[in-house]
Structure 1
């Protein structure tokens, strides 16, 4: 088997393992906290999610050690997301976090997108308040960054303003809103039912709509300039390109 095929097989195996951790292990951990820890050990669950995201992130480097500059750029992007969410604290749901997470996933790969999303949700809640909602928010932010990275790698998501805005609006409304509403229902009642879930979706409709509009707005305003700067940094310093 050629070296190219071996590299592709390693890449596919890594992506499958990353997807397993992100799509199966993380949600299972959150549900474990809800049903077996009575939703009271959210700090423990949040730290487990951080641990999973770090594992997923370091897997993206395959057999080499990450350089300090590669870790710093992810830390800076997380800090920007946290600062952006905090700066707009007076406007419920109107936050730039998802936009920054999507840009990270597109520029630095699915694993980096998930890490920035999860870390941003965890750290920013030291300002907004930690609670059983934190693991859900971490997963919702992270999964959008992960999906953005995967779709970009597949050629479905482009770096154009239109493509990013369409994906940002849809993913924020349906992925973030769809998951966080399930989490909200499980946080406030142990009696899960279809009627209760529908009522939760209806009550959260305008919150999700405002959040989606905010993501589209911030992607429209900052995506191109931010991507251009990040691409320059990647080329100059030879940063992660998963």
Structure 2
């Protein structure tokens, strides 16, 4: 590509290898969401998205979030909540992206860092539920937001506990696999 005598090389962000990794992670999120649908709000999808945002970056996390939501909601039911879910996942992924330098640094002891991110995974379940509640209260014209939010808090706590448990289980398995197959360095 040339522009006024300047040669611009297109950035190869989405290589075939990266697309394959994102497709596998999308499939993993989708299958995990379907496998755990019988437990309200407990699913590995949020944790997988957190790990993608921490290891690969926010763009990759957003791509997998959108594809996973569209794919799984085709099976579980598509509706106005799909947009609410995507917005909530976007907020969670952007907040997670802000913590990426902390996750990648070697300044904290590994056990302390792991504990902090398990706690963060728990908090993202609460954040996700709060954002969903804000959007849905406006979307469906619910007059008293706090009553609506507090009635769903038990589901948010289940989501939060599931996130923490899945982070504890998936982080040591999934992070090395993502790094190995996406071509990222194994710090």
The size of the alignment, in residue pairs, is 170
Counterparts of 1:133-152 in structure 2, within 5 Å, are: 133-152=81-100
Bigger RCO (CA 8 Å, 6+ sep): 2
CA distance in 2, matches of 1:141, 1:74: 16
Counterparts of 1:111-190 in structure 2, within 5 Å, are: 111-153=59-101, 155=102, 160-173=113-126, 175-189=127-141
Question: In the alignment, is residue 219 of structure 1 matched against residue 167 of structure 2?
Answer: yes
**Structure 1 residues 142 and 80 mapped into 2: Cα distance closer, same or farther (>3 Å)?**
farther
Secondary structure, aligned partner of 1:91 = coil
CA distance in 2, matches of 1:68, 1:239: 14
Shift of 1:185: 1.5
**2:4 maps to what in 1?**
none
TM-score (norm. length: structure 2): 0.82
Q: What CA RMSD, in Å, does the superposition of the two structures yield over aligned residues?
A: 2.1
Q: Are the aligned partners of 1:140 and 1:179 in contact in 2 as well (CA < 8 Å)?
A: yes
For structure 2, list consecutive stretches of 5 or more residues without a partner in the other structure: 1-8
CA distance in 2, matches of 1:134, 1:186: 15
Structure with the higher helix share, 1 or 2: 1
**Structure 1 residues 157 and 92 mapped into 2: Cα distance closer, same or farther (>3 Å)?**
farther
Secondary structure, aligned partner of 1:117 = helix
CA distance in 2, matches of 1:161, 1:147: 17
Q: Are the aligned partners of 1:106 and 1:152 in contact in 2 as well (CA < 8 Å)?
A: yes
For structure 1, list consecutive stretches of 5 or more residues without a partner in the other structure: 1-61
TM-score (norm. length: structure 1): 0.65
Shift of 1:239: 5.1
Question: In the alignment, is residue 202 of structure 1 matched against residue 150 of structure 2?
Answer: yes
Q: Are the aligned partners of 1:109 and 1:149 in contact in 2 as well (CA < 8 Å)?
A: yes
